[in-house]
Amino acid sequence: MDLERVFKSDMISGAQHRFRHYTVNDISVATTSLTVFLSGLREKPARTLYLCHATREDIVLGFLGEYSRCKRSGIPFEAALIICGQRDKFEISAELKELIDVHQEDVPILLSPFTTHHSMELIHNYTPKLNINDLSRVIAACNHYEQYIDYDLLLKRTGNMLASKRFENESI
């Protein structure tokens, strides 16, 4: 979801995975041959965010193929792909869009209207925001701050009647 905001673009597939997190260390740019890319895809951590240029349809096809292989084998596949290219100059083909649509629910793929280099810069410069729908970040924030905040006292001082009655019962 953060990357959708950064690129002002919706995921073209795998929207159910929009709250998955990738750190800057989890990013890999696909600039090699398909063989080398597939080898890296199998050797790198499962949760890797790949970027490739829109002209590298071989990489996109390899990514989709690896997803299918993992699904058949029961291997977790947590990678995501950002296809980069300037809107006016590069688009993915209609045939590739059809293949992506076959995996519409499963494979997280996002289109970036920017060059690969600019997309990387935007990711590196972005500070993720807390979103109520992002349960893992909300839980992490609650766990961090919970030890420092007396919620009952806070609720009492803000006029919450339930907290006030609970406080009175405890002090008796």
Q: What is the pLDDT of residue 62?
A: 93
Rounded Cα–Cα distance for residues 114 and 56 (Å):
15
Which of 17-31, 68-82, 150-164 reaches the highest mean pLDDT? 68-82
The torsion defined by the Cα of 14, 20, 23 and 27, in degrees rounded to 10, comes to -20
Separation CA 160–CA 143 (nearest Å): 23
Question: Considering Cα of 129, then 135, then 136, then 142, what sign does the dihedral take?
Answer: positive
The pTM of this model reads: 0.70
| Residue range 37-58: mean pLDDT, rounded | 88
Distance CA 163, CA 96 (A): 57
Q: Under DSSP, is residue 132 helix (H, G, I), strand (E, B) or coil?
A: coil
What pLDDT score was predicted for residue 36? 93
pLDDT of residue 106: 82
pLDDT in tens, 110-168: 889 998 899 989 888 876 666 666 667 677 777 887 888 887 787 778 877 665 455 55
pLDDT of residue 128: 66
- pLDDT for position 75: 86
* Residue with the larger pLDDT of the pair 1 and 53: 53
* pLDDT of res. 144: 83
* Structural domains of the chain in order of their starting residue, each with its CATH number: 2-125 (3.40.1390.20), 135-171 (no CATH)
Rounded Cα gap, residues 165 and 66, in angstroms: 58
The DSSP letter of residue 159 is: T
| Residues 6+ away with beta carbon under 8 Å from 152 | 163, 166, 167
Q: Are 35 and 122 in contact (CB under 8 A)?
A: no
